[in-house]
Structure 1
Amino acid sequence: MTDGNTEQERISLVVLDMAGTTVADGGLVEEAFAAAAGQLGVVPGSAEHAQHLAYVRATMGESKISVFRHLFGDEERARRANTAFEEAYGELVDGGRIAPVPGARETIEALQEAGRTVVLTTGFARVTQDAILDALGWRDLVALTLCPADTGGRGRPYPDMVLAALLRTGAADSVRHVAVAGDTSYDMLSGRRAGASVVAGVLTGAHDEDALRGAGATHVLGSVAGLPALLDGARTGGASRPGRPS
């Protein structure tokens, strides 16, 4: 069996989630969802609204259009909800409601200085992803950013964005040389299904340690700031037992 530290030292591509992992949005997803649901007649405070919100929380990290397809059934309503969500979220971003997770930019720069390629991924639409990048001044921070539409429309928990990052950058010789980090169980599932040897959950976003490990996290870190040390083979408090594959 391959030694875990050896695999970590050989990581040449790091695929990072945005909201909740590298970007702190302070619950804007739920605010934007409430605005979108209201436009489709879901009354705030109603049982239907509570059920929808619970599903949104449980599926944080998934492609937003997929979430709305599940909630609203037909494609036309799902697309209306998705458009309303993206518009509401964009307005919140433009209003200065997001910031980097502490140490996130420094982490990305440290990974790149160590010779690793970094790709940022999201479950949002491209227009929203670009708005976030512009608001943070991150447009030129990494070599590649990906959203579900860039990889055929399937977002997490499918492995598509991780595999596309590998194919488009050519930064790794094998999926075993890829690390994935995110704050949701869907991030973990995506990384495990792609075959990444390091799938690190972070505790700065939507899901707790049990959920992250249950979805296959190989490591759980307090924040993405702990990732460079992990990949350099240093001991970290969260780098304990492996998660379960899915």
Structure 2
Amino acid sequence: MTTASNQTRHQIRGKDFRGPVSTVIFDWAGTVLDFGCIAPVAAFREAFAEGGLTISEAEARAPMGAAKREHIALILAQPNVSRRWQMEKGRSVRETDIDRLYAAFLRIDAVNCARYSALVPGALETIACLRGQSITIGSTTGYPRSVMDGLMPLASLQGYEPDHCVTVSDVTRGRPYPDMVLANAVALSAPDVRACVVVDDSPTGLLAARAGGMWAVGIIASGNEVGLPLADWLALDEAEQTARREAARNTLDDAGAHFTIDTIADLPPVIAAINARLLAGDKP
């Protein structure tokens, strides 16, 4: 058989891919652990305070999902932050300023990751459900490898050990590019990108999933868009939860989410729904 014929067969086989889901790729903070995505936000704010500039929680959260050094640059690029920096420092931001803030962030976040490392309720049950379906577990993060070297053992002590982890320092491009999710698909031998589901609480994570041709599931209640610790979320009345949930859902839908769920605990029925859609010939 000629090479051209082989290529044609692969194209036809790819076109007719009918599932099932083989791989689920999770983000970390706000998705599997650290309900509310508290650790990085607190570290950004403390690092900026050390550098002589106060930033709000909203300003710290706005670029979430980006590589952390880039995240700092994006905070500084916000008009209000840039204006305050200019007033405080009497000059524009320099690369050395970003480097110093990033170094402070890494130092502070090493402590915060330990402080806010608790798994989201239901995480282990969901992982067990997926493994029962022979689904492999990948992971991505905007944290560099140096941070994950400290965080992954803390997750392991609680029973969470993904099959593969790709950090932003392992790839050329971070989110919203698909490099990290595609690296997981290759490492975990996914038969097709359509067999992969990305679960992430940040818009950039969902954009990366869509760019990689994968299913995108957005996390609402435990994620950055709501941004509350578990106790604070549970303390809200139903009306306030609904309002915050809808605002977050709109943001994640705009980023391309195929599905949105409150937390990782709600994922198993979504996997079943994706399998049904794949079997029917749908694609992400």
Q: Smaller-chain TM-score range?
A: 0.7 to 0.9
Residues in 2 aligned to 1:233 and 1:74: alpha-carbon distance in whole angstroms: 49
3-state SS of paired residue (1:24): coil
1:162 shift after superposition:
0.5
Change (3 A) 1:212 1:234: closer
Which of the residues 125, 148, 151 maps onto 2:171?
151
Tell me the residue number matched to 2:239.
none
Give 1:101 deviation, angstroms.
Answer: 0.5
User: Relative to 1, partners in 2 of residues 1:148 and 1:117: Cα closer, same or farther, differing over 3 Å?
Assistant: same
1:19–1:175: structure 2 CA closer, same or farther, 3 Å change rule? same
Identify which of 152, 157, 162 aligns with 1:142.
Answer: 162
| Counterparts in 2 of 1:77 and 1:92: CA distance versus 1, 3 Å | same
Give the whole-Å Cα distance in 2 for the aligned partners of 1:126 and 1:234.
31
Look up the match of 2:207.
Answer: 189
Q: TM-score, normalised by structure 2?
A: 0.71
CA contact (8 A) 1:8 1:231 kept: no
Which of 7, 12, 29 aligns to 2:40? It is 29
**Matched residue type, 1:109:** A
2:124 alignment partner in structure 1: 105
| Cα separation, 2, equivalents of 1:7 and 1:129 | 34
Q: Aligned partners of 1:12, 1:74: CA distance in 2, in Å?
A: 45
Could you tell me how far apart the structure 1 residues matched to 2:165 and 2:193 are?
Answer: 18
Question: Equivalents in 1 of 2:75, 2:121: separation in Å?
Answer: 33
CA distance in 1, matches of 2:216, 2:18: 11
CA-based RMSD of the aligned residues comes to 2.5
Point out the more displaced range, 79-88 or 12-21.
Answer: 79-88
**Counterpart amino acid of residue 62 in structure 2:** A
The CA deviation at 1:123 is: 0.6
**Partner residue of 1:65 out of 45, 63, 69:** 69
- The TM-score normalised by the length of structure 1 is 0.81
User: Is the CA contact (8 Å cut-off) linking 2:35 and 2:223 kept in structure 1?
Assistant: no
- 1:217 aligns with 257
Q: Distance in 2 between matches of 1:181 and 1:8?
A: 21
Amino acid at match of 1:122: T
Query: How far 1:8 moved relative to its partner?
Result: 8.3
Structure 1 distance, partners of 2:121, 2:224, is 16
Which structure is larger by alpha-carbon Rg, 1 or 2?
2
The alpha-carbon deviation at position 140 of structure 1 amounts to 7.1
Find 2:110's aligned residue among 66, 77, 90: 90
Residues 220 and 25 from structure 1, CA distance in 2 versus in 1: closer, same or farther, beyond 3 angstroms? Answer: closer
Q: Is the 8 A contact 1:212 1:220 kept in 2?
A: yes
The question of whether the paired residues in 1 share the 8 Å contact of 2:119 and 2:155 is answered with yes
> Which structure 2 segments of 5+ residues have no match?
1-15, 77-92, 226-247, 276-283
Distance 1:125 1:57 in 2: 18
Q: CA deviation at 1:119?
A: 0.8
Residue 200 (structure 1) aligned with residue 217 (structure 2): yes
Alpha-carbon distance in structure 2 between the residues aligned to 1:32 and 1:134: 20
Tell me whether 1:175 sits opposite 2:160 in the alignment.
no
Alpha-carbon separation, structure 1, partners of 2:72 and 2:263: 29
Is residue 140–residue 166 contact of structure 2 (8 Å, CA) maintained in 1?
A: yes
**Which amino acid in the other structure matches residue 16 of structure 1?**
F
Q: CA deviation at 1:18?
A: 0.6
Matching residue's letter, 2:171: T
Count of aligned positions: 221
Contact 1:8–1:232 (8 Å) recurs in 2: no
C-alpha displacement of 1:9: 4.8
Gaps of 5+ in 1: 1-5, 236-244
TM-aligned CA distance change 1:59 to 1:131, over 3 Å: same
- Please report how far the alpha carbon of residue 79 of structure 1 lies from its aligned counterpart in structure 2 after TM superposition: 2.3
